[in-house]
């Protein structure tokens, strides 16, 4: 008899986890989503084998239960599981971006004969919905596990075996350690991006020209500010302590920069940027991190009719998919710049090779 996996939440993450499990295991995958449309889509795309009418129905006989739901919803549903019939020895996990409160809530399941292990696959996409799900979405990404202190190591190994099809790098952290680190490298940068956008929005009231000038590089460096407001509301409320600490550290850092500027200390200012450049340049390029990578390629193009069509035709000829294309700059009789986004580093490298063969100047920033 096939083992059963139950996925709750059939969006990008839940769908991709389902596909990665199917790639490695001969199992029956059952799914549930509050959206009937998403469930039908998941069935038609063979992301799941059957749809459950309710969570209570879906958890019956499930060997693995995955909550791919927003963190607040996951907390609520974990408490509801106490009243449901669960298979003895089942493993339960989630994909939430914050872990401490979820791990605490899951202690209500300790007498149910099941094991909860917090999880966070640190990868994503700029697309959403089950139709965007990919078995390789988490490949080379970090997949964090936050088991409770007394969790049996065999259960952790079993969960890793369930998820080996993700081809992710598994790391174990405490829930507190995860929230602190994720706060610094993912949650806090989103706050900064949103704050920068607010600052420019206020400036636009004084000078409307700022919106046009911000359409290029500023728009690129603040892309993460376009993430789901609901998701970030929940993350900030769940990771309150870490983020308040980081905000204090950031305020101190800005005081340092302000002092250097006020004093006109050229040497200290240079050193500040040089050290930041050095640290950033030494970061791994190919590994996936907490913030989805942007695989952008910039192409110099002449102001000539048909040039954009030519570029896209070259990509299509070599079956290279792009996720976005836009004109950064076009002026009469001057070279313009195409910004082309790809879904992977491999696609970007292939595009750069074939466009260069056709004498297009390309570069990566």
Domain-ending residue, one of 121, 145, 173: 173
> Residue 150 domain-assigned?
yes
CATH number at residue 229: 1.10.3660.10
Alpha carbon 194 to its chain centroid, in Å, reads 17
Cα separation, 78 vs 80, whole angstroms: 5
Q: What is the pLDDT of residues 129-180, one digit of tens each?
A: 898 888 888 888 889 999 998 899 999 999 999 999 999 999 999 999 999 9
Of the residues 281, 312, 337, the one at which a domain ends? 281
Residue 266 belongs to domain spanning: 178-281
Q: How many helices (H) and strands (E) does the chain have?
A: 15, 12
Is residue 290 in a domain? Answer: no
Residues 341, 320: Cα–Cα separation, whole Å: 11
Rounded to two decimals, the pTM is: 0.74
Q: Give yes or no: residues 151 and 209 share one domain.
A: no
- Rounded CA-CA distance 52/9 in Å is 11
Of 181, 180, 165, the residue nearest 66 (C-alpha): 165
Final residue in a domain of this structure, among 173, 192, 207: 173
Each residue of 111-122: pLDDT tens digit?
A: 899 999 999 998
Give the CA count within 13 Å in the CB-facing half-sphere of 155: 22
Rounded percentage of the chain residues whose pLDDT exceeds 90:
57
Asked if residue 97 lies in contact with residue 190, where contact means CB atoms within 8 angstroms, the answer is: no
Is there a single domain that holds both residue 192 and residue 224? Answer: yes
Contacts of 219 (CB under 8 A, 6+ apart): none
**pLDDT tens-digit series, residues 3-48:** 999 999 999 999 999 999 999 999 999 999 999 999 999 999 999 9
Q: Is the pLDDT of residue 292 over 70?
A: no
CATH at residue 311: 3.30.2130.10
Joined together, the tokens standing for residue 7 give 């996925």
């Amino acid at each position: 008899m096939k083992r059963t996996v139950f996925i709750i939440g059939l969006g990008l993450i839940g769908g991709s986890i389902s596909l990665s499990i199917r790639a490695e295991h001969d199992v029956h995958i059952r799914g549930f989503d509050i959206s009937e449309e998403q469930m039908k889509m998941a069935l038609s795309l063979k992301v799941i084998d059957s749809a459950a009418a309710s969570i209570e129905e879906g958890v019956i006989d499930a060997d693995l239960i995955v909550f791919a739901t927003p963190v607040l919803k996951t907390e609520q549903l974990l408490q509801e599981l106490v009243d449901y019939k669960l298979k003895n020895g089942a493993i339960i996990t989630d994909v939430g971006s914050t872990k401490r409160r979820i791990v605490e809530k899951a202690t209500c399941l300790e007498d149910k004969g099941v094991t909860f292990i917090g999880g966070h696959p640190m990868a994503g996409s700029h697309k959403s919905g089950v139709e965007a799900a990919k078995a390789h979405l988490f490949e080379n990404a970090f997949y964090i596990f936050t088991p409770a202190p007394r969790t049996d190591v065999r259960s952790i190994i079993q969960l890793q075996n369930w998820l080996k099809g993700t081809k992710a790098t598994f790391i174990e952290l405490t829930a507190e350690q995860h929230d602190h680190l994720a706060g610094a490298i993912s949650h806090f940068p989103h706050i900064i991006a949103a704050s920068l956008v607010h600052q420019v929005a206020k400036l636009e009231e004084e000078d409307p020209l700022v919106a046009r000038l911000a359409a290029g590089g500023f728009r690129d460096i603040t892309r993460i500010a376009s993430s789901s407001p609901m998701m970030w509301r929940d993350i900030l409320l769940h990771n309150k302590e870490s983020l308040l600490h980081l905000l204090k550290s950031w305020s101190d850092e800005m005081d340092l920069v302000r002092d250097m500027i006020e004093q006109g200390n050229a040497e200290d200012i240079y050193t500040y940027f040089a050290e930041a450049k050095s640290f950033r340049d030494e970061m791994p390029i190919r590994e996936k991190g907490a913030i989805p990578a942007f695989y952008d390629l910039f192409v110099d193009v002449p102001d000539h009719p048909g040039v954009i069509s030519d570029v896209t035709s070259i990509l299509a000829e070599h079956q290279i998919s792009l996720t976005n294309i836009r004109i950064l700059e076009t002026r009469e009789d001057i070279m313009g710049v195409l910004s082309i986004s790809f879904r992977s580093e491999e696609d970007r490298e292939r595009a750069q090779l074939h466009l260069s063969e056709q004498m297009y100047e390309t570069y990566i920033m």
